[in-house]
Amino acid sequence: DAKTTQPTSMDCAEGRAANLPCNHSTISGNEYVYWYRQIHSQGPQYIIHGLKNNETNEMASLIITEDRKSSTLILPHATLRDTAVYYCIVRVARSGGYQKVTFGTGTKLQVIP
């Protein structure tokens, strides 16, 4: 699986959009971009994933550049409960097969009142 690079930490004002970048310049054509977050002392929470098109769900939007070498996770209206470590991972989808999730260091997002 391709390696990802994320900023170590970011701050965001409550109510504003949080834009979390991720670089994955060695991504392969069959690799998806996944985002998870982990609030302190809780299990990781799946947020969203995509292959090449932009995706949106009730939690966030995922914008993937046309060359797929980077992406941005957008939380449209950050709240204090969004304070967490956000992990961007890139992995091949192996339908029905064994899969292992490996997190890097992630971005610690602090939402400020």
Partner 1 sequence: DGGITQSPKYLFRKEGQNVTLSCEQNLNHDAMYWYRQDPGQGLRLIYYSQIVNDFQKGDIAEGYSVSREKKESFPLTVTSAQKNPTAFYLCATLYADTQYFGPGTRLTVL
Cα distance from N-terminal residue to C-terminal residue, the chain: 37
Site track 74-93 with partner 1 (rule: CB under 8 A), x = hit: -------------------x
What is the amino acid identity at position 32?
Y
Residue 54's Cα: distance from chain center in Å? 13
x-marked contacts with partner 1 along 94-113 as a string, rule CB under 8 A: xx--xxxxxxxx--------
CB of 102 to partner 1, least distance (A): 6
Total interface residues for partner 1 by CB under 8 A: 21
